[in-house]
Amino acid sequence: MMQRRDFALKIGFFFAWVCVPCGQSSFAATPPYPPSPVIASMRWAPKESIVRAARDGDNWPLTWADDDALYTTWGDGTGFEPKVEQKLSMGFARITGAPDDFSGVNIRSGAEQLGQGRAGKKGWGLLCADGVLHLWLGHADNQGAAAQLAWSRDHAKTWMFADWKFAEFGMMGFINFGKNYDEARDNFVYAYSHDDPRADAPADRFILMRAPKTKLSERVA
């Protein structure tokens, strides 16, 4: 379990900065929240430990599935070796192994997407819950805006697409919680987005939303 979490941390990134007003040598601020009782510190892995694969793709949302593999999508690339024959706006892959010795295999699916940039749907968020993969697709209008939900019951080989979209949100993701979502503290699934219809537009607010785990495909939920 710790290896999987370490893997996700290495692939993801966190950043923060402190602004010092002009003419001042220090800036006193009161934290908006108390210190975390769970996260005591962060230790960065040395850059020499970074392993790169499938270099021509981007995005790479991840989820830890019930079969102990990580599933992902890539955008605007050709995936892992052996690469697919045509550049895809969105392709699928399965990753196994440890952070320092992993392998990725492309999953060929009829749900693969074509189109460059805003013209092609992208995978923004993935979640495996009860053995079902759930996927938020961005650029759902094929013009850079909106989000659409899809789900797969056979580990990304085939997909069902919701017949509805969120026109308000352009870059939706899922909050994962352990293998197969097994560590979730309630029966809801949580999603988030920056507050703009376009994925590549700046926004100054984030939206958090939730739905019952058994009703994700229902727009009214």
Given a cut of 50, whether residue 184 has pLDDT beyond it is yes
**The two three-digit tokens of residue 15, written as one number:** 């950043």
Helices and strands counted in the chain (H then E): 1, 11
The residue whose two tokens read 């050709």 is: 78
Q: pLDDT value at position 28?
A: 65
Paired tokens of 78: 């050709």
pLDDT of residue 23: 45
Indicate if the pLDDT at residue 103 is higher than 80: yes
d(CA 185, CA 204): 29
End-to-end CA distance of the chain: 31
Range with lowest mean pLDDT among 39-53, 85-99, 140-154: 39-53
State the DSSP code for 179: G
Task: Extract the runs of DSSP E, i.e. beta strands, from 108-172.
Answer: 122-129, 132-138, 147-152, 160-166
Q: Is the pLDDT of residue 131 over 60?
A: yes
**What does residue 4 show for φ and ψ, rounded to 5 degrees?**
-60, -45
SS3 assignment, position 77: strand
Tens-place pLDDT, residues 5-48: 544 444 443 333 333 444 444 566 788 888 899 999 999 989 99
Residue that wins the pLDDT comparison between 14 and 194: 194
Give the least confident one: 31-45, 71-85, 123-137, 145-159.
31-45
What is the spatial distance between Cα 39 and Cα 41, in angstroms, rounded to a whole number?
A: 6
